[in-house]
């Protein structure tokens, strides 16, 4: 776990789709990295949901896609999941 649900909002504001990923290495290094070759990599962070907002949701996942080649933020999204 990377924190509480409120922490995810702060993380989501760190990344903007289409912007260069250079300078984000320190933040990206805190996430779980998954190779998504040949398209790049995806980083994920998991946050606790104290009182589920959707039935049975226990975690909120923030994911950031970084393209290969010139590292660029290729997508930022969050979703509720069931543990």
Token pair, residue 74, equals 């290729």
Number of continuous H segments (helices) and E segments (strands) in the chain: 2, 4
Residue-wise pLDDT tens digits, 5-62: 889 999 999 999 999 998 899 999 999 999 987 779 999 999 988 876 666 778 899 9
Full-model pTM: 0.83
CB 27 within 8 A of CB 1: no
Q: Where in the chain are the domains?
A: 5-81
């Amino acid at each position: 776990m990377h924190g509480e649900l409120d922490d995810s909002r702060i993380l989501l504001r760190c990344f903007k789709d289409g912007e260069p990923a250079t300078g984000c290495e320190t933040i990206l290094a805190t996430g779980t990295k998954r190779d998504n070759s040949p398209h790049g990599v995806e980083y994920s962070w998991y946050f606790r949901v104290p009182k589920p907002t959707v039935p049975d949701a226990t975690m909120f996942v923030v994911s950031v896609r970084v393209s290969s080649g010139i590292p660029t933020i290729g997508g930022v999204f969050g979703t509720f999941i069931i543990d």
